[in-house]
Structure 1
Amino acid sequence: MDEDTNAAVRRFPDRSRAISDRAARDEGFREMCADLATAEAELRKWSTSTVPRREQRIAEYNVLVDELAREIETTLDASVVPFPKR
């Protein structure tokens, strides 16, 4: 797994297999994982910053990280194929 996909695995460790499988076949999903990794890196950067707009940027990146995580989770949930009822 690459670092981008690892960002999703860190967020959803119990779904690492599903993340890996989906990333192997879905470029859009890989891009979501890359966006999450980038947003998390920016959040870490801003968390150590001392510039005046620090708090605003932290809040923005927290929202972005949460939204991307929800989007990844929704995509993974849509990948689950339920067993037919008997």
Structure 2
Amino acid sequence: MHHAVQAAIARFPDRGHAIAELARTDDSFLSLCEDLAEAEAVLARWERSSSSVNEASCTEYRELVMDLAAELATELDRHSQQ
């Protein structure tokens, strides 16, 4: 399974089957999963960093992760209603 799909399933474990199916059939959804996985990876790096810009960067990436997760949820809801 694609690492980005696994990241999305980790965030929404109760929707794992729908995530896997949608990522398999919809390239834009898979791209959204990839964006989420990348943002989570960058956030994790910033959280471990001792850089002076650490807190601002963490805040920025936390917001990005939340926005991407909300977008994923919206797409899942939209496709579940079809």
Q: TM-score by structure 2 length?
A: 0.97
In structure 2, list runs of 5 or more residues that go unmatched.
Answer: none
* Displacement of 1:80: 1.2
Matched AA of 1:22 = L
Q: 4+ residue runs of structure 1 moved beyond 4 angstroms?
A: none
Q: Which residue of 1 aligns with 2:59?
A: 59
Stretches of structure 1 that go unaligned for 5 or more consecutive residues are none
* Structure with more helix by fraction: 2
Partner of 2:32: 32
Q: Which of the two has higher C-alpha Rg?
A: 1
Distance 1:63 1:81 in 2: 27
RMSD (Å) for aligned C-alpha atoms? 0.9
Output one character per residue of 1:4-37: Cα deviation in whole Å (capped at 9) or x when no partner. 1111100000000000110011000000000000
Identity %: 41
Residues matched between the structures, number: 82
* SS of equivalent to 2:51: coil
Give the structure-1-normalised TM-score: 0.92
- 2:69 and 2:24 mapped to 1: Cα distance? 18
